[in-house]
Each structure stands twice: as structure tokens, then as C-alpha cells.
Amino acid sequence: MDMIKSMTGFGRGEVTENNRKFTVEIKAVNHRYLEASVKLPKKLTAFDANIRNVLKEYMERGKVDVFVSMEDYSGTTETVKYNSALAHEYMKYLTEMAADFGLQNDVRLSVLARFPDVFTMEEVETDAEELWDTFEKAVRMACSNFVKAREKEGENLRKDLLDKLDEMEGYVGFIESRSPEIIVEYRKKLEDKLRDALEALDQKADEARIVTEVTIYSDKICVDEEIVRLKSHIKAMRDALTEGGACGRKLDFIAQEMNREANTTLSKSGDVALTDKAIALKTVIEKIREQVQNIE
């Protein structure tokens, strides 16, 4: 049996290697499709697609937020670059200027070094493959912990839904057994009314007429087909929960069909007791519909 996963969850991964520490946090809520929002430091923006590909290995649905931070302890992230050609240009024009104005060229090295862009600070290029090797470990650790949290919550949802299906079966069983009793009671009430009315006229009740009336009433309140379909839906949902895996969409469809049959059953309700159970049936189905929205 594959584990059922909730769409809500949280996972964290932290890996330190090669003087760098990567921290990845993942949180998610229910959503119809997989929608990922990835927040990356500037140095890691090139790995956005890599992360999304990894996420697809661990999840199929959910609104997922991924937060990433990186700390670099190497101390060699920037380097000084000397622009020799530009320094020569400065000196060339300073010499020309001295000649034009008959002045002494008194430019010292410390002054020339402060001229714009003679010295610049540049970011040290990092080996992308080496960076991703470490970063990926943190991403997968966060995903793994995220899946564990989802599976734990998914198991709680599975147990809760199975309990609710048991409750549904109880209501369906009551409706199934009560419906024939209503027809018997209706026939007796009809016979009693006719007997009382006809006794005053010294006439006998027309058995054919009674059978016709009872048949019409029976057809009006008959829920046999609805009961059969409800039982079938309960079994289908229980089987899906037992089989596990990404069954959220299937469960949602089954719950909609359950609700349709419950509405029809309630509309055909023949007495107070049956109406109460039909309402209780609808209530538990609504709870099931809410719960399955959280299953992947």
C-alpha cells in the first residue's frame, strides 16, 4: 500500500560543505495543481529550474513555497582587478595636459590608483557544478522531510476518512431498512382511513385501489438505486484509501457523487426519522469533501 499524502506540510534541509552552508525550507498548502514559488539568493538564481525539477520528483499537487539561504565562509568571494590599459590612458592624457599647460606632471602612484576603475572589485566565479552538488543535497533533504510530514498527516486523514465511511454506512443501512417499513406503515394508514370512510357508507375497501395508491407512493419514495450507488461509492473510496498513492482527485470525484445521491435520498425522504438520517448522511459527506481537498 502506497502512503497517502496530505498537501499541507513543512520540510527543512541544511547542508554544510566546502565552506558553504545551504538552508532550504519547504511549506505547502492544498492546491488543484503543483504550483511552486522559489525564493533564491542572487548567487543561486541559475538553479531555479533545477529545484523545480527536483520538486516534481517528490510531489504532484499543492501550492509550494521554497525558501533558500546560503552562507559562504570561504572569504574569497571577491578579487581585485587592475586595469593596466586604463591606467596607461590616464597617464597618457595627464602627460599631454602637462605639456599643454607647461606644468610639471606631479601625479603620484597613490593618486593614479584612485582614478575611476583603475582598480575594481570582481566576484570570484564559482564552479556551478560543485555548487549544485552541495545545494542539491540540501534541497533533497528538505523534500524528504517534507514528504515525511505529508505522509504522517496523510495517514491521519486516511484514518479519519475511513471512520467517516463507517459512519456513512450506518446511515445508509438505517435508510435501507427504514424505507420498506415506511411503505408498510403507509399502507396500514391508508387502509384504516378507507375503512373508516367506507364503513359510514356501508361499503368495502377496493383492494386494487389500495394497491395502486401504495405502488404510486412506493415509487415516489423509493431510494433503492440511491442506496446501491451510495454503497458502491463507499466501497470505491475505501478501496482508494487502502490502495493509497496520489488519489486526491479520485476521492474528490467520489465525494461529489456521494453528495448527489444523498441529495436525492433526502428529497425522497418519507418520514422524520429517515429525514434526520439523510441530513446526517449529507453532513458527514460534506466533512469528507472538505477532508479530501487536503489529499494529494
Q: List the chain domain ranges.
A: 9-73+128-151, 78-123, 154-292
Residue 102 φ/ψ region, left for φ over 0, alpha for ψ in the -120 to 50 degree band, beta for the rest: left
Residue 134's pLDDT is: 94
CA separation for the pair 129, 54 (Å, rounded): 16
CA separation for the pair 280, 153 (Å, rounded): 26
Strand-strand pairing, 9-17 and 20-29: antiparallel
pLDDT by residue, tens only, the chain of 296 residues: 688 999 999 999 999 998 899 999 999 999 989 999 999 998 899 999 999 999 999 999 999 999 999 998 876 666 788 899 998 998 999 898 989 888 888 888 888 888 999 888 776 566 788 899 999 999 999 999 999 999 999 999 999 999 999 999 999 999 888 887 777 776 667 666 666 665 555 556 566 666 666 566 665 667 888 999 999 999 999 999 999 988 999 999 999 999 999 999 888 776 888 899 999 999 999 999 999 999 99
CA separation for the pair 276, 209 (Å, rounded): 31
Q: Which residues contact 292 (CB under 8 A, 6 or more apart)?
A: 161, 248, 251, 252, 255
Dihedral, CA atoms, 86, 89, 94, 95, nearest 10 degrees?
Answer: 140
CA separation for the pair 150, 5 (Å, rounded): 5
CA neighbours within 13 Å on the CB side: how many for 255? 23
Beta-carbon count within 10 A of 285 CB:
24
pTM of the model: 0.70
Task: Take residue 46 and report the three cell numbers written for it.
Answer: 541559475
Q: Which CATH architecture has domain 9-73+128-151?
A: 2-Layer Sandwich (3.30)
